[in-house]
Amino acid sequence: MGKKTKASDHGPKSGLLVILIFLAAGVYAMWPLPLHFRTDLAGTYGDSFQNLFNFWWIAKAFLTGQNPYFTPYMFHPFGVSLLLHTLSPYNSFPGALLSFIIGLPGAYNMMILVHYVLAGYFCHLLVLELIPEDVPKTWTRITAVWAGLVFTLSPFHFFQAREHLQLTAVEGVPLTLLFLVKILKTPNRKNAVLLGLSTALVTFSDMYLLVYTFITFLFFLAGSSLRRPGKDLLKARAKGLLMAGLVYSLVCGPLLIAMAWKYSTTGYVSGHDPAKFSSDLQSLFVPGPGSAWAGWFHGLYGKWKGNPTEQTGYLGYILLFLALLGLLKKRNMPFSKTIASLGLTAVVLSLGPVLHWGGESSDMILPYKWFASAFPLIFSFTGTPARFSFLVNLSLVLLAASGFAWLAQEVSARHGLGFLLLVPVLPAVALVEMAPGPQEIVHIDPPKIFEQWAHDKQNYAVLDTRRWAQMYLGLVTHEKPLVNGHVSRDPLDRLKHLKDVPVLDTLVFGYKCFAPDFEPRVSSTIGRLELSPGDGPLMPGVPAEFFGATIEGRILIKDRGPTRFLFETSDRIKFDFDKVNRLDSGGKRGPSRFETGPLPIEPGWHDFRIETYAGTGKFFFKMHIAQGNDNFMIPGLDRLKTLDGKPGAKLTSGPRVPLISGQDQIRQAFDDLEKHDIKYIIRWPWQNRLLEEHVLKLEKVYEDDITVVYKVPGSLR
């Protein structure tokens, strides 16, 4: 059947065919987005819009000759450094160029498609290099293409394509590993230079991928040293690695030094909570929400903590079987033990600082916590342990490729053509098992008023207090500086300035608060866990839609057994029971019903605390309780008492923002808005608008389902 093939053995036609296969895989993974390539965006209203901003800003910086690592378009009038922002130049620079041709959404989607193609292609090249030469050429090629398909359609890659373009650019890691393996086998100057350049490519993609690349380096270097290479080979390797390091330093050194200086001299908001953004152990064995089979497992993955997009560690049972074959028959891949050790380490690190199973945290401390303490600088850039599943996916694919190659070789040698026809069945079923579901897409349709601002030559700023996805989309549409803003790591001094200006503090941060954190407030005792606009000590002059409440006390659980709590509320709610949070509606807004599910609670009196408020419409609240098969009922005086033992529950109520009242404060508010050049204020319709509408009495100039715009009077024009 021929000898082993190397990447360099491919002719143009063969290489083009392989690329077309991965292109087809990318189109499949992105479907139905290719039907709306220039009008819709891959993902949801999430972090994908940050990359739209990156494209837009790089294009504008290029056209105007500005520093791409500093933008004056956020945190006006100061601007903000982008050195520690996920600017991802590897994506942003070509994306900016493409945006001139096919627009921002088209450029973003094109970059994702490119990453699907390149990730599969470079993984296929790596497998060609790793599989031994005694495997027949045909099976080596088939195995390499199959491995590339599994890798590019892996849970990590597909899930990240929904939100994080920078983490979709995974192709640099297998490419870098390819040149590292070449140096370990036959060191030369060409491979050393390419290793340095490919590592630089990873650096310009994302810091997570850079950390994973260096971890992979450590494992492969350690594994190769255990083979006791001769002195000449060891010396040649050292020279190659030194040259690669020199090339890398020349390309990336200035940027890394600037980043280190910025990190050491500026305070930043901390990133994700590792305990929350860890892989659930269950996620290794259950397909996640992006899988084609997700509908069968919603009852399981719906309980996992953190962002479901990050739960990407699913191993796949057939893939795991092939990987075990590859490990046991190690002669088919020289670094099989190294790869297996890397994969197992990544599994453990992906589980985070404590073990989770089915959404429940345990007391078991895991190695991630020790590593984070020992290497705080490295792990401060990788605060989402679940992303270590990337290395799990890569290791599993490489070992499975070895298992597939061994299986094909053994069957073809011992059992003939009839059995050989059965060999591709297992890998084909593995592809089906790991198949991604339909790509989520979001339509790009910014308010028309923003397009009008883009044509307005007047210089002014905008305050946009919506979520950063809508804020980014607004910015790249209206192209006016934002007084607030959001980057990957928000600098504390910029946030402090916003908090130090009362009107900005109220507009930017006030809406995040639960019920009443500010004076004035009123307290009373209620005998029933039900409130409406006509009940309780509503404050004079405060409309009910800007009203919130905290209710706390003790509640009597009469019977042993599962207890359920049901809440009906005008907006968000938090519910703590025995000082443990049992419900937090989070980002869900508007009138809703929330249920805790059955909780095992002992009979007796238990502490509770409820925080709720209205963001739009009229304020209302009800809490129902049910035990066993009983119907829900609203607790009354017979089941309530305050923390100091009086009948009923304590209600603290009031407006949800610090009131700016009196002519002096109102005048100061307008002065502060004018000092910051603010001409328009953009809000959610469901945000607290007491200040704009009832105190400052601003003119509303636009409103739709997700956007309200107010115009600030004054001499700004």
CA dist 276 and 352 (Å) reads 8
Q: Contacts by 631-638 with C-beta closer than 8 Å and gap 24+?
A: 632/564, 632/566, 634/528, 634/529, 634/530, 635/528, 635/529, 635/555, 635/556, 636/527, 636/528, 637/527, 637/528, 638/556
Q: What is the pLDDT of residue 7?
A: 46
Least confident of 170-179, 287-296, 298-307, 389-398: 298-307
Q: Are 709 and 681 in contact (CB under 8 A)?
A: yes
Nearest CA to 342 out of 169, 211, 220 is that of 220
At residue 274, does pLDDT exceed 60? yes
- Secondary structure class of 546 (helix, strand, coil): helix
At residue 8, does pLDDT exceed 50? no
Taking the CA atoms of residue 293, residue 296, residue 300 and residue 305 in that order, the dihedral angle to the nearest 10 degrees is 40
Token code pair at residue 274: 């590792």
Q: Are 705 and 45 in contact (CB under 8 A)?
A: no
Token code pair at residue 514: 């639960």
- Secondary structure class of 657 (helix, strand, coil): coil
Q: What is the pLDDT of residue 517?
A: 45
Write out the DSSP string of 454-490: HT--S--EEEE-S-HHHHHHHHHHH---BSS---SS-
CA 248 from chain centre, in angstroms, equals 28
Q: Report the amino acid identity of residue 100.
A: F
The mean pLDDT of 535-558, rounded to a whole number, is 68
Q: Report the amino acid identity of residue 31.
A: W
Identify the residue whose tokens are 């080596």: 140
Least confident of 217-226, 234-243, 529-538: 529-538
Name the phi and psi angles at 404, rounded to 5: -65, -45
> Please, which residues have CB within 8 angstroms of residue 551's CB and are 6 or more apart in sequence?
526, 529, 609, 610, 612, 621, 649, 650, 651, 652
CA dist 91 and 390 (Å) reads 19
CA dist 288 and 412 (Å) reads 36
* Chain segment 40-87, per-residue pLDDT in tens: 888 777 788 999 999 999 999 999 999 999 999 999 999 999 999 999
C-alpha separations of 463 from 73, 303, 325, 716 in Å: 11, 36, 58, 14
Give the mean pLDDT of the chain: 84
Peptide bond into 32 cis (omega under 30): yes
Name the phi and psi angles at 31, rounded to 5: -65, 135
Write out the DSSP string of 152-184: HTSHHHHHHTTT-HHHH-TTHHHHHHHHHHHHH
Split at pLDDT 50, 70, 90, the class of 231 is confident
The continuous run of DSSP H or E covering 621 comes out as strand 621-627
CA dist 508 and 463 (Å) reads 8
Q: Are 422 and 682 in contact (CB under 8 A)?
A: no
Where do the H-state alpha helices sit in 11-161?
12-30, 48-64, 89-130, 137-152, 155-160
Higher pLDDT, 144 or 544: 144
At residue 714, does pLDDT exceed 80? no
Q: Are 70 and 479 in contact (CB under 8 A)?
A: no
Higher pLDDT, 411 or 183: 183
CA dist 76 and 375 (Å) reads 35
Split at pLDDT 50, 70, 90, the class of 180 is very high
At residue 412, does pLDDT exceed 90? no
* Chain segment 421-441, per-residue pLDDT in tens: 556 777 788 888 888 888 888
Write out the DSSP string of 268-330: B-----TTTSS--GGGGTS--TTBTTGGGSHHHHTT--S-GGG------HHHHHHHHHHHHTG
CA dist 193 and 199 (Å) reads 10
CA dist 139 and 121 (Å) reads 17
How much is the CA Rg of the chain, to the nearest whole Å? 29
Identify the residue whose tokens are 């791409």: 68
Higher pLDDT, 328 or 20: 20
Query: Among residues of the chain, what percentage have pLDDT more than 90?
Result: 38
* Chain segment 679-692, per-residue pLDDT in tens: 999 998 877 676 78
Q: What is the pLDDT of residue 270?
A: 66
C-alpha separations of 558 from 205, 385, 542, 606, 640 in Å: 58, 42, 38, 11, 12
CA dist 501 and 552 (Å) reads 32
Q: What is the pLDDT of residue 109?
A: 94
At residue 381, does pLDDT exceed 50? yes
C-alpha separations of 67 from 57, 98, 262, 354, 613 in Å: 10, 20, 15, 42, 44
At residue 123, does pLDDT exceed 70? yes
The continuous run of DSSP H or E covering 431 comes out as helix 425-433
- CA neighbours closer than 13 Å in the CB half-sphere of residue 512: 8
Q: Are 619 and 548 in contact (CB under 8 A)?
A: yes
Q: What is the pLDDT of residue 23?
A: 95
CA dist 4 and 15 (Å) reads 16
Q: Are 135 and 409 in contact (CB under 8 A)?
A: yes
> Beta-strand (E) ranges in 379-492?
441-443, 461-464
* Chain segment 630-680, per-residue pLDDT in tens: 778 888 888 999 998 899 888 887 666 555 666 788 888 899 999 999 999
CB atoms < 10 A from the CB of 146, how many? 24
* Chain segment 351-373, per-residue pLDDT in tens: 888 888 887 778 788 898 888 88
The mean pLDDT of 121-127, rounded to a whole number, is 95
Peptide bond into 600 cis (omega under 30): no
Higher pLDDT, 547 or 15: 15
Token code pair at residue 423: 């060999």
Identify the residue whose tokens are 């050194």: 253
Q: Are 403 and 160 in contact (CB under 8 A)?
A: no
pTM: 0.80
At residue 533, does pLDDT exceed 90? no
Nearest CA to 612 out of 514, 524, 543 is that of 514
Pairing of strands 561-569, 573-577: unpaired
Helices vs strands, H then E, count in the chain: 24, 22
Split at pLDDT 50, 70, 90, the class of 3 is very low
At residue 338, does pLDDT exceed 60? yes
Q: What is the pLDDT of residue 348?
A: 93
Q: Report the amino acid identity of residue 271.
A: G
* Chain segment 495-531, per-residue pLDDT in tens: 889 888 888 888 887 643 333 444 556 677 888 888 7
Split at pLDDT 50, 70, 90, the class of 546 is low
Higher pLDDT, 176 or 335: 176
